[in-house]
Structure 1
Amino acid sequence: MALTAGAAGAFALLFGATPALADSHTNATLSVLHAVPELPVDVYANGERLIDDFQPGTLTDPLSLPAGAYDLALFPADAADGSGEPLLSAMGVELPAGADATVAAHLTEAGEPALTPFVNDTSEVAAGEGRLTVRHVAAAPAVDVRAGGEVVIDGLTNPNEESLTVPAGTVSADVVLAGTDTVAIGPADLSLTEGATTIVYAWGSGDAGYELATQTVQAGASAPTGVPGGSAGLAADEGMPAPLVGLTLAGLAGAAFAGRKYATSRV
């Protein structure tokens, strides 16, 4: 779900910034992914409602915000404004200047709701290539990611990520239980953009089903030369960004979990 004009305006009034006025020296870029199945929510930051009736499987447009600390909270979509106990909250989330981050509301492996911030890799990608990042935010054990039937990421656990350098183009991929051929998601054709980071989120639960959500973040690459046709092969990237890198998350360990609970799910 993209931000509505009203929500974008609320951001601008609350934080004094708009996407058009981004300043990497003083601002940070933030997106929010809703990956908790079957639970529409309202999203609040610093006590102000920013997103109304946020539906599972949707991702906000990236927004430029002043660097600093933010209190984030999610309430059931039908609750009165900011009343009662939040389903999830994270106090004092620090966004450093120049960071590009995504906060995912998702389920842990055990099926409990959680908030996990990730730093999006915007470092340079060679001409003709892109970066693929896979993030495990599903109520599921460790998984392998396959491309063309070959394992390219193995043993990925919730809520971690792994990155690959890829020729730009299209790759057919699926997600299987680690060490098995049991398919949890896919296969799906992924379009990998030259000079950008394509982020794939594996989310959901055994009861609600497993799905993929995608996000594209522009990287500091040389000028694109065009996207080649055919399927892309995958090569491991030496440097793999991790959740929380560059983010000081004061109070996140004490995030409040209340309201609806989820049973442990398995693929």
Structure 2
Amino acid sequence: MLVAALAAAAGVATTTVAATVAQAAPGSAPATAELFVVQGLPDRALDVVVDGRTVAEDVATSEVVGPFEVPVGARTLTVSDDGEVVLESSVTSAAGESHDVVVHQATSSSAPPVTTVFDNDLTAVPRGKSRLTVAHTAAVAPADIRVDGEVLFANVANGESLEVVVPAGTYAVDIVPTGQEGPAVLGPLDLQVRGGSVTQVYAVGDPEAQSMNVATHVLSTSTSGSAAPDLVDTGSGGQAVGATPAHGTAWEPVRSLALLR
């Protein structure tokens, strides 16, 4: 499974399926947002429903589907496996926002799956650089995220992430138990990042079940011509080195939430 993860990360691959969930009325300005759904549950092929409408079917582990254009406000996301509802969550967006909604395991693999929403920051990056996000969405206790052997984010909990701006190139990314050199829970992965992009990497799966993997989502963004430091640490949760906390939003499954029409 790790060999497949390395291959996926090295190629910075992502699967996308475009769909429109709702359209603005004729003559009015669109008041919409966009959602991508990241499938982080091992050994499943999931169907994705937004506000009662199926937008993707048979989504395999580590696939990213979208963008799905949705009206602003609270939307109901329902994920099912062979007709059985896995979870339902409410996702709220404002006009023009873009989010990755990751369906993944909780820290305990025996707990019900959860969704965590990560904002897609599409603001300009300096020319020749990329915004790299690494998120902990696996059935693993709090861990350290390392880039090129350096701990950039310590004690990261399930549902939290690290964001850095780096020069385009190849980086070794791995996740190790908090305060330990190893063995690695995932990686090291040789991750290629290109300039003028946002690269989001989600660790998914359960090491005890040997199902650890990565889902990678790459989005293009504009660039600026001004110079910038080689590394700027930001991120969410844990203890980032020189970083300001700001994390994704997690929803526990809502068992009886009625679908919005």
Alignment TM-score, normalising by the size of structure 1: 0.75
Distance 1:195 1:31, change over 3 A: same
Unaligned segments of structure 2, at least 5 residues: 1-14, 235-242, 257-261
Partner of 1:40: 45
2:100 maps to a residue whose letter is T
**Distance in 2 (alpha carbons) for counterparts of 1:204 and 1:254:** 18
Unaligned segments of structure 1, at least 5 residues: 18-22, 80-84, 226-232, 258-267
Partner of 2:160: 160
**Distance in 2 (alpha carbons) for counterparts of 1:224 and 1:61:** 32
For residue 87 of structure 1, give the secondary structure of its aligned residue in structure 2.
strand
Partner of 2:197: 196
Partner of 2:223: 221
Give me the CA root mean square deviation.
2.7
Residues 183-210 of structure 1: CA distance to partner in whole angstroms, max 9, x if unpaired? 1111111112212221110110121421
**Distance in 2 (alpha carbons) for counterparts of 1:197 and 1:24:** 27
Residues 25-174 of structure 1 aligned to structure 2 (within 5 Å): 26-76=31-81, 78-79=82-83, 86-91=85-90, 93-111=91-109, 112=111, 113-174=113-174
Q: CA contact under 8 A between 1:147 and 1:174: conserved in structure 2?
A: yes
**Distance in 2 (alpha carbons) for counterparts of 1:140 and 1:119:** 22
**Distance in 2 (alpha carbons) for counterparts of 1:218 and 1:239:** 24
Residues 156-183 of structure 1: CA distance to partner in whole angstroms, max 9, x if unpaired? 1101112112111111222111111221
Aligned-pair CA distance for 1:219: 3.2
Residues 184-242 of structure 1: CA distance to partner in whole angstroms, max 9, x if unpaired? 111111112212221110110121421121111233422699xxxxxxx7542355642
Q: CA contact under 8 A between 1:169 and 1:192: conserved in structure 2?
A: yes
Alignment TM-score, normalising by the size of structure 2: 0.77
For residue 205 of structure 2, give the secondary structure of its aligned residue in structure 1.
strand
Q: CA contact under 8 A between 2:133 and 2:162: conserved in structure 1?
A: yes
**Distance in 2 (alpha carbons) for counterparts of 1:96 and 1:147:** 33
2:107 maps to a residue whose letter is E
Partner of 2:254: 255
**Distance in 2 (alpha carbons) for counterparts of 1:223 and 1:155:** 35
2:203 maps to a residue whose letter is A
Partner of 1:230: none
1:106 maps to a residue whose letter is H
1:152 maps to a residue whose letter is L
Q: CA contact under 8 A between 1:173 and 1:186: conserved in structure 2?
A: yes
* Alignment pair present for 1:15 and 2:16: no
**Distance in 2 (alpha carbons) for counterparts of 1:24 and 1:216:** 28
Q: CA contact under 8 A between 1:200 and 1:215: conserved in structure 2?
A: yes
Residues 42-68 of structure 1: CA distance to partner in whole angstroms, max 9, x if unpaired? 111111222111211111132333323
Q: CA contact under 8 A between 1:195 and 1:224: conserved in structure 2?
A: no
**Distance in 1 (alpha carbons) for counterparts of 2:192 and 2:154:** 21
**Distance in 2 (alpha carbons) for counterparts of 1:154 and 1:24:** 43
Partner of 1:2: 16
**Distance in 2 (alpha carbons) for counterparts of 1:152 and 1:240:** 13
2:196 maps to a residue whose letter is G
Residues 128-152 of structure 1: CA distance to partner in whole angstroms, max 9, x if unpaired? 2211111110000112122222222
Q: CA contact under 8 A between 1:163 and 1:240: conserved in structure 2?
A: no
Q: CA contact under 8 A between 1:41 and 1:54: conserved in structure 2?
A: yes
